[in-house]
Structure 1
Amino acid sequence: MKVDYCLTGQLDDRELVVAVEAHGFDGAWMPELTHDPFPILAIAATRTTTIELGTAITVAFARNPMTMAVLGNDLQTYSSGRFLLGIGSQVKQHITRRFSMPWSAPADRMREYLQAVRAIWRCWETGERLQFSGEFYSHTLMTPYFNPGPNPFGNPALILASVGPRMTRVAGELADGLFVHAFTTERYVREVTLPALREGRVAADKDDSLSGFEVCGSPMIVTGADDEQMANAEAAIRSQIAFYASTPTYRPLLQLHGWADIGEELTAMSKNGQWAKMGQLVNDDMLDAFAIVAKPADVASRIHQRFGDVFTRTSFLAPYGLPDHFWAPITAELQTL
């Protein structure tokens, strides 16, 4: 299993990624938060040599397919073939109110979006005429002046983030990999995510065994070197679970486990600004289902036990301030399992 590092989304990540590579991580993922991830990763690509670099995620619907195709192609070149283009849909409010872009039928729109990006790359690679016309996007002009030609390192891998089964089927059909949301459980992965992923693969006449397909996980981890650190980690992860569970979009996952009423209560609390108290509603069963709770020596084996036959690469969601060197032995062990 490859082990990746989740960067902070800040400008300093262009330096941090050098240390991350030295610590032995296989990949580094840059979120799109307060800064555009592409220029930061472009700088990071010039300061590293082996680590894979990717966006996790960049917002697809904030950009048109041509813009995304150019960015992905350029980062693949800057990194000498080490770039992973991780994209996601975001939610309606951000697309329409923050980016002032259209929103409709997100799974159908994403299917066409990926088709359009691949059509543009194919045009550059083979010289065939660009002739993509769909319901949401149309790209029918590519003159030599704007054609970069074939990328010497090939196209970057397209990794699609999803939660629900419809978007997951799109990932299986058209992407090279899937981001499994951190807010998930082993049961949901096995009963909902994997079947939908295989349906998408079959629809595209691909191998439903997922051979060669990246499945990227980011499980929440509760760990620490002593009781105080464990308690701090547990409190942080309970709050993280509560934050995700308050989002109505994720309600089907809670319904699968019989926790829909807790989700509704958390939604109400979030609307009333009761963020500090929300973690108290996350009971021990929820904590154990959504997070790996283990001493440091047992974290790697617990991740492997739960997801070892599913994830091809993983990172750690641990928002409670442990130093990077804390994860080095866990990373090394996971890489051998």
Structure 2
Amino acid sequence: MRIGLWIEEEGLRIDEVGAAAKAAEDSGIDRIWFSQRTGWDALTLIAGATPFTSTIGFAVGVVPIYPRHPMALAAQALSVQAVTGNRLTLGIGTSHPHMVEGMFGLSMDRPATYMREYVEALGPLLSGEPTNYEGERLTARGHIEIAGAEAPDLILAALGPRMLETAGQLTGGTMTSWVGPDLVESYIRPTIDRAATAAGRPQPQVVAAACIALTDDPDATREWIRERFGAAGDMPAYRAVLDRGGKAGPEDTAVLGDESAVAKEIQRFADAGTTEFVFCPVGTPDEHERTVRFALDYAAQQ
């Protein structure tokens, strides 16, 4: 199982992000992950952090598809591939109604259907092939060609059965949120594997991102997570997967405790079929620092 590290980029300058990326590379972290939120553009941030590193992989988890036409995203992603020396993993997702409809004023009708059309249009473009795609919801005609850029790994933020089917049939895998090892083993892994097998594709990646904290007071840290991320439990896609896993809220999916307890839980993810575990350090400043140190040490020992 690979080890990834999510870098909290909010409030950081590019040199600070670059220093964090270099420390992760030196410790053996496989990929650095960034989120697309309301600050840094994640793909531009990756391009800016690249000169501080030489070998580590970069990933965005995830780029929301609704504000970006497939041709525009393909051009940006392939540009970043060229800049990074082909070290990019491109994660895409539908985002959530409060953003797509509330912030962008766009319709989020039938998101699974739209995502499938989007991936069908995007795939050839990322491979440098011309496309003449016309679906029910989306049209893409043209060709993106950038010298030296290979098709990046494409993964899909998939939690529902139809999204997992699209991920297994058309992409390299999925990245999960608010999912524990039991649900990876019982639902995520078998669902996406069936789809990939039916399509004649190799076994997909299952990238599990989890809030994680080295802490002496798990209950207090769990409350810290509830206060900051509890609203995610009201978002339809997250609510559905939390219910499927029998969790009241995001705080119940966190990996918390001392070094031994955290290491055992990470091993449970590996045993469940996770191909990459992404540390998302949370908690107080001291807990965050302790967790990042643990992540770097853990990766170095693998």
TM-score, length of structure 1 as denominator length = 0.77
SS for the counterpart of 2:157 is strand
Checking the alignment, whether the CA contact within 8 Å between 2:89 and 2:152 is kept in structure 1 is yes
Find the counterpart in structure 2 of residue 269 from structure 1.
none
Checking the alignment, whether the CA contact within 8 Å between 1:9 and 1:32 is kept in structure 2 is no
1:137 equivalent in alignment to 2:142: no
Find the counterpart in structure 1 of residue 84 from structure 2.
79
Cα 1:157–1:257 shift into 2, 3 Å: closer
Correspondence for 2:280 among 290, 297, 317 = 317
In structure 1, C-alpha distance between the alignment counterparts of 2:243 and 2:223, rounded to whole Å: 24
1:302 equivalent in alignment to 2:293: no
Checking the alignment, whether the CA contact within 8 Å between 1:21 and 1:50 is kept in structure 2 is yes
In structure 2, C-alpha distance between the alignment counterparts of 1:221 and 1:326, rounded to whole Å: 7
Question: Percent of aligned pairs with the same residue?
Answer: 23
Q: Aligned AA for 2:23?
A: A
Find the counterpart in structure 2 of residue 176 from structure 1.
172
Checking the alignment, whether the CA contact within 8 Å between 2:121 and 2:131 is kept in structure 1 is no
Find the counterpart in structure 1 of residue 153 from structure 2.
157
- Gap runs ≥5 in structure 1: 264-278
1:25 equivalent in alignment to 2:26: no
In structure 2, C-alpha distance between the alignment counterparts of 1:9 and 1:295, rounded to whole Å: 25
Find the counterpart in structure 2 of residue 59 from structure 1.
64
Find the counterpart in structure 1 of residue 191 from structure 2.
196
Count of aligned pairs between the two proteins: 295
In structure 2, C-alpha distance between the alignment counterparts of 1:18 and 1:89, rounded to whole Å: 31
Find the counterpart in structure 1 of residue 122 from structure 2.
117
SS for the counterpart of 1:61 is coil
* TM superposition shift of 1:324: 4.2
Worse-superposed segment, 306-315 or 80-89: 306-315
* TM superposition shift of 1:119: 2.2
Find the counterpart in structure 2 of residue 266 from structure 1.
none
* TM superposition shift of 1:2: 1.7
Worse-superposed segment, 49-58 or 21-30: 21-30
In structure 1, C-alpha distance between the alignment counterparts of 2:35 and 2:124, rounded to whole Å: 26
In structure 2, C-alpha distance between the alignment counterparts of 1:319 and 1:76, rounded to whole Å: 30
Q: Give per-residue Cα distances to partners, 1:62-98, cap 9 Å, x unaligned.
A: 1000011111111111000111111111012311232
Q: Aligned AA for 1:117?
A: L
Checking the alignment, whether the CA contact within 8 Å between 2:189 and 2:206 is kept in structure 1 is no
- Of Structure 1 and Structure 2, the greater strand share is in 2
TM-score, length of structure 2 as denominator length = 0.85
Worse-superposed segment, 131-140 or 164-173: 131-140
* TM superposition shift of 1:138: 1.5
Q: Aligned AA for 1:303?
A: I
Greater Rg by CA: 1
Correspondence for 1:235 among 223, 232, 235 = 223
- Gap runs ≥5 in structure 2: none
Q: Give per-residue Cα distances to partners, 1:293-337, cap 9 Å, x unaligned.
A: 432134223211243341111122332133546444454445656
